[in-house]
Amino acid sequence: MARTMPRSLFRTAILSFTVIALCTVAVLFQERDGRFGIRDVRGLVFQVPFSRSGPGISQLALEEKGSFDRLDLGEEQCREIFPGLTKDLDDAVQRGTFVFEKSNPDYQGLVQGRIKDGKLYILTTAPSNTIEILHQRTAILQQLHRALLTSPTTLPNTHFAFVINDSPKNNSWAFARPNKESSYNTWLMPHYGLWTWPAPTLGPIDTILSRISTLESSTPFTQKYNKVIWRGTPWFNPAGQPNLRKDLLHVTANKSWADVAKLERDRESRKGNVLRIEAFCRYKYVVYTEGVTYSGRLMYHQACESVLLTPPLTWLTVSARWMKPIAAETLMGAHEQVEKNGDSSMGWKKPRELLPTVSDWHDANAIYVKPDFSNLEAVVEFLDSHPEIAQRVARNQRESVVGGGYLSSAAEVCYWRALIRGWASVATIDRSWGIELGERFEDWILRQVVERRDGTRGKNDSGSHDS
């Protein structure tokens, strides 16, 4: 459409003025929040909602750290700031449409609910007296509620179901799913610890991240303990690897390069070998072991600038998807310039895993050791004699996970909203749900307050957290 020159110039001038004004407001706003000038990673540029009117003027540089605290990022901003965050959800959408039916409300750990006009409703919650289940499902509903409240656009209406326990339930959200093709349509949801994990050694994720940051800034990698660290319960093992943790204890027993022990705690004296979660970051090498399925510790270890050593994962979680593991054999073989084409001569074909491994250690942020830990000592020796590799892998981990903001509240709400959108786009709500609306989350959460505590705090408060 032909327009006269002066008129289009006039429009451009008005638009430019508007953009400059908006940028100024944005800068002032950031300054007021004390966020200005702490750009320490890479600057980021993303589309702002009002930008669709014209090309070239649509980009606004926003300082990255500030955006990690923001809960109101839009869908495109989320994708640009946190690339790959929703990879597992994209895969889930690819699996296509399915009929989503109502399930028996007594199914262990199950919560069924609805999202309607941006509000959260609870339909069923499985009976349980297990405090962990009650905490975890409440933490998840709080996360979900926050993601809805802060969404810049109204999310689609849908019904949903999630399970807290480890055994997979078809067509539901869960903390973990197998690291291989499966006939279960499981959608990964964020870890409840992103809200909080109310244990003395843990707490809300932001407090843990700040404790880890304090430790990391005063403990350069080269000054960390030159040892492998692990604590845990020897009998929590994956069904397929009943000796996993015992094998670890066995290969590390009385080894000078290991600080590995079964968790011991005396309830009376409250003494034992329990470590605060950030203390693992004092070590150069942190071992991760899966439990009956996943272990909730993974994301905390991923915040350390330490080398994460783990047998190949059999379970995926949201944070496991950020791992870029290199197999120890590849790492050590490649570095010693051993012929690579010898790989298939091992005679053992791995089942196809969903989480890819990398072949160049420059890209790796974790190392896969053998499932029986038989090469753990060799790997530690190798890393000790190649400190530049150890440090690179360690730094890759902390920089990608913490530096990239993947454990921030911004990423968490981005993930939840992507989960709701993706799920709603392929779930066909079955008639079995009827027209029941359910109980508003706001009501449900108040009714969770029972008479166990009178609400007093500060006196005789046994549940208090240290600082």
Give contact residues for ligand NAG (rule: CB under 6 A): 98-99, 170-171, 183-185, 253-254, 459-460
Question: Measuring CA to CA, which residue among 111, 110, 130 is closest to residue 122?
Answer: 111
Structure-block tokens of residue 136: 């975890």
**Which one-letter DSSP state was computed for residue 277?**
G
DSSP calls for 38-78: ---S--EEEE-GGGGG-SSS-EEEE-HHHHHT-S---HHHH
Pick between residue 165 and residue 171 the one whose CB is nearest to ligand NAG: 171
Pick between residue 55 and residue 463 the one whose CB is nearest to ligand NAG: 463
Q: What are phi and psi of 371, to 5 degrees?
A: -60, -25
Q: Cβ 170 to ligand NAG, closest distance in Å?
A: 4
**Which one-letter DSSP state was computed for residue 453?**
-
Q: Cβ 169 to ligand NAG, closest distance in Å?
A: 9
Q: Cβ 168 to ligand NAG, closest distance in Å?
A: 8
Q: Cβ 97 to ligand NAG, closest distance in Å?
A: 9
Residue 16, helix vs strand vs coil: helix
Q: Cβ 102 to ligand NAG, closest distance in Å?
A: 13
**Which one-letter DSSP state was computed for residue 312?**
P
Q: Cβ 282 to ligand NAG, closest distance in Å?
A: 23
CB 47 within 8 A of CB 58: yes
Q: How many CB atoms lie within 10 A of CB 463?
A: 8
Residue in the block written with tokens 């070590």 = 283
Pick between residue 62 and residue 376 the one whose CB is nearest to ligand NAG: 376
Rounded to the nearest 5 degrees, what angle is found at the Cα of 269, between the Cα atoms of 263 and 273? 25
Pick between residue 117 and residue 451 the one whose CB is nearest to ligand NAG: 451
Rounded Cα distance, 424 and 155, in Å? 9
Q: Cβ 367 to ligand NAG, closest distance in Å?
A: 25
Pick between residue 7 and residue 459 the one whose CB is nearest to ligand NAG: 459
Pick between residue 143 and residue 171 the one whose CB is nearest to ligand NAG: 171
HSE-up (13 A, CA, CB side) for residue 434: 5
Pick between residue 183 and residue 269 the one whose CB is nearest to ligand NAG: 183
